[in-house]
Amino acid sequence: MLLEIEDLGKTYGAVSALSGVSLAMDEGEVVGVCGDNGAGKSTLMRIVAGAQPPSRGAVRLRGKPVRFTGPRDALTAGIAAIYQDLALAVDQSVYQNVFMGSELVRRSWVPGLRTLDKRAMRERSREYLARLGIELESVDAPVNRLSGGQRQAVAISRALRWEAALVIMDEPTAALGVREKARVLDLVRKLKETGVSVLLVSHNMDDVVAVTDRVVILRGGRLQGEVATADIDADRLSHMVMSGRMQ
Ligand SMILES: Nc1ncnc2c1ncn2[C@@H]1O[C@H](COP(=O)(O)OP(=O)(O)OP(=O)(O)O)[C@@H](O)[C@H]1O
Ligand SMILES: [Mg+2]
């Protein structure tokens, strides 16, 4: 099992944002997380991604208990989160964004001096994008010249740079047009093809049904239930989320 979440809970003062949530994910599995506003989806995602500590419960990665002290800690362990704003430096180049904060360096001919290995960073950026089925004219182009779907691919490439085994995405298609949305869903499929697991938080039932293997539904911070995507369609899922019932 890649990821095991057991009896996870999170309180903010008197507010219980998450309570008694357990969930397991296999390598290469795409799991959707649905639920109404305030159901605890982002809270769950932030805890798994190391952005917040849980108030109780355990997270295990490949059987080993983990307690992340921050997002960087989770990244190093192989869990990358992509938030809605993508956290890209839009006036910097594609390759600079992919390697931001973790640049490749090489020794220079001057003893003790290290310089950025731009060639390697460009090359590897192209590789990651190719893996995602994205062709860009140049990895030197600033991100602000890219479309929404292409930006999403840059953010995912950053996850690939860390060899992420799990990519968590919060509402990745919310701000996108129809075509761009289809591209982002393709990116999710590509990740799965390469053995990467995806936890997809979304209000869009069509998207969830289109790319996931399984869906978990949260309600009031609790796990309402879990269903195989093959057994439902978007209407059915939407009904489950709204009614609070799994039939
Ligand atoms: N930092 C915080 N401080 C206090 N309460 C919070 C905080 N973050 C979340 N909450 C509360 O926790 C609950 C779950 O919030 P969360 O953001 O996880 O829901 P969500 O399912 O992501 O909702 P949405 O669909 O609107 O994004 C809500 O009641 C919310 O008000
Ligand atoms: Mg949210």
Q: Ligand 1, from 19, 21, 36, 42: best to mutate by most atoms within 8 Å of Cβ?
A: 42
CA 240 to chain centre: 24
Please report the domains of the chain, with CATH numbers, ordered by start residue.
3-89+163-243 (3.40.50.300), 92-141 (no CATH)
* pLDDT tens-digit series, residues 61-106: 999 999 999 999 999 999 999 987 788 999 999 999 999 988 898 8
Query: Ligand 1 mean position to 54 CA, how many Å?
Result: 14
Give pTM, 2 decimals. Answer: 0.92
Query: What average pLDDT does range 220-236 have in this prediction?
Result: 97
pLDDT of residue 165: 96
202 in helix, strand or coil? coil
Ligand 1, atom 17: closest residue by C-alpha: 42
Helix axes 178-193, 148-161, angle to 10 degrees: 20
Any ligand 1 atom below 6 A from CB of 228: no
Confidence of residue 241 (pLDDT cuts 50, 70, 90): very high
Q: Which residue has the tokens 């939407």?
A: 238
**Dist. CA 140 → ligand 1 center (Å):** 38
Start-to-end C-alpha separation, the chain? 28
The protein residue with its alpha carbon nearest to ligand 1, atom 6, reads: 12
